Amino acid sequence: MRESIKDKVAIVGAGCTKFGERWDAGIDDMIKEAATEACEDVGVEIKDIQAIWVGTFRGSQQSGGVAPTGLVVSSALQTQYIPVTRVENACGSGQEAMRGATYGIASKVYDLVMAIGVEKLKDTGFGGLGTMYPGRWEPVYGAFGTGPGRYAMAATAYFAKYGLPPEEGKRILAEISVKSHHYGVHNPKAHLRREITVEDVIKAPIIAWPLGLYDCCGVTDGAAACILCPAEEARKYRDDYVTIKGFGIATSPGWGKEREDYDFTWWDATEAAARQAYAEAGIKNPRKELDMVELHDCFSIAELIASESLFLCEHGKYKQEFTDKRAYYHEGEMPVNISGGLKSFGHPIGASGCREAYEVYKQIQGKAQEPSRQIKDVTLGLTHNQGGHPGRFICGALVLGTP
């Protein structure tokens, strides 16, 4: 790396739609909602934006057959011949859009850009995301080729490796889901706004053992957007801007399922991305230095393993370091997914990475909507977004903080 981007790029505006089963809105409507809120937040108009990056997984199938290009945004916002770049990295697409916008500013080519993540999943005619390998099913390689199946393998592997009886392991995962729903209730933009109990989680229908209904994120519609500018120009837009401290993106070689030395209990690409971001941000001890983390918790076990793979606690020590101490609550030592996370806020695939940045941005500003969610004195936060499945990931880690 020739030069760090630390404190060279600022987020000066952000917007996010209500997440949920948005039967009332198409993909164009949600793009407009998120972009309009972001523009109003900073006091600019769409015509002031010089370039846009959009992350979406199924965007071309949600917008009347528009080819998988930037047209999904340019037509919705009626931009006038500016570059709009559509990126896709599975569930990590939102983080990829943030990266494109960040480096667009860092390159000194643009003065004001936007990153948008969006997904419309509820009108697609199926109940989930299907298998990982549509059109090329193969009885050995494709076995357990669904999201719940892959993450269930990670959960059972974790239980076995660290000597957790199934009942205890299930209870640890249930505590994570209970926490996520608790904060979702207090987040007006969240999808699943309902308190649940540990017993609710344990007794829920099994999707892929040990993961039950309440261990899995829902199928959600939504969009989020961030507006970025050079840090030296941020104060002309607002005083409470947020700067980018470090960015890491790592893509695995994809052979985790076949490697004998990979046991599904750690996210290799997450560790690599985190190391990149921490090094650039100058973070030596993330557990002590970070004030909050928004991480990719598509399943309860994903929050557990991601927390360890982001070096927030030692591998195998999640129960002692997080569950027993309630450290992951907003008043705890290491608040995680105080938005409700993907589990409760929702996971419109391409939107989640941008939505996580929106949450950290608002928390740093002290504008987390509900006092019951606001973390005290946030100056440094991390977002983590990943796509793929255990052993075959694209992961991003983004550190945001006060100037």
Q: What is the mean pLDDT of residues 367-379?
A: 89
**DSSP, res 204:** S
CB atoms within 10 A of CB 258: 10
In a domain, 60, yes or no: yes
pLDDT one-digit tens code per residue, 110-123? 999 999 999 998 87
Pick the range with the lowest mean pLDDT from 2-6, 218-222, 286-290. Answer: 2-6
Point out the least confidently predicted range of 39-53, 72-86, 144-158.
Answer: 144-158
Answer whether residue 172 shows pLDDT above 50: yes
Number of structural domains in the chain: 1
When mean pLDDT is compared across 43-52, 135-144, 318-327, the lowest value belongs to 135-144
Whether residue 160 lies inside any domain: the answer is no
Domain containing 117 — which CATH number?
3.40.47.10
Q: What is the pLDDT of residue 131?
A: 46
Residue 322 within a domain: no
CA distance 204 to 184: 19
Q: Look over the chain and give the mean of its residue pLDDT values, rounded to a whole number.
A: 92
Side-chain half-sphere CA neighbours of 7 within 13 A: 6
Examine residue 297 and state whether it is found in any structural domain, yes or no: no
Has residue 196 been placed in a domain? no
Q: Is 91 a catalytic residue?
A: yes
The domain in which residue 20 lies consists of 9-126+219-230
| 187 domain residue, yes or no | no
Reference 15, options 224, 210, 205, 200; nearest CA is 224
Alpha-carbon distance 101 to 115, whole Å? 6
- Mean pLDDT on 28-54: 98
Work out the pLDDT band at 141, boundaries 50, 70, 90: low
Confidence of residue 158 (pLDDT cuts 50, 70, 90): very high
Distance CA 117, CA 119 (A): 7
Confidence category of residue 391, pLDDT binned at 50, 70, 90: confident
Q: Which of 181, 347, 384, 389 is catalytic?
A: 347
142 pLDDT tier (thresholds 50, 70, 90): low
Dmax over CA atoms of the chain, in Å, equals 59
pTM: 0.94
Which residue among 39, 91, 217, 226 is the active-site one? 91
Q: Does residue 128 surpass a pLDDT of 60?
A: no
With cut-offs at 50, 70 and 90, classify the pLDDT of residue 132.
very low
CA neighbor of 193 nearest in space, from 203, 205, 182, 209? 182
Q: 239 or 65: which carries more pLDDT confidence?
A: 239
- 295 with 335: CB under 8 angstroms? no
Asked if residue 395 belongs to a domain, the reply is: no
389 is catalytic: no
- On whether residue 99 sits in a domain, the answer given is yes
**pLDDT tens, residue by residue, 64-82:** 555 568 999 999 999 999 9
The CA-atom distances, in angstroms, between 6 and each of 92, 243, 396 are 22, 8, 16
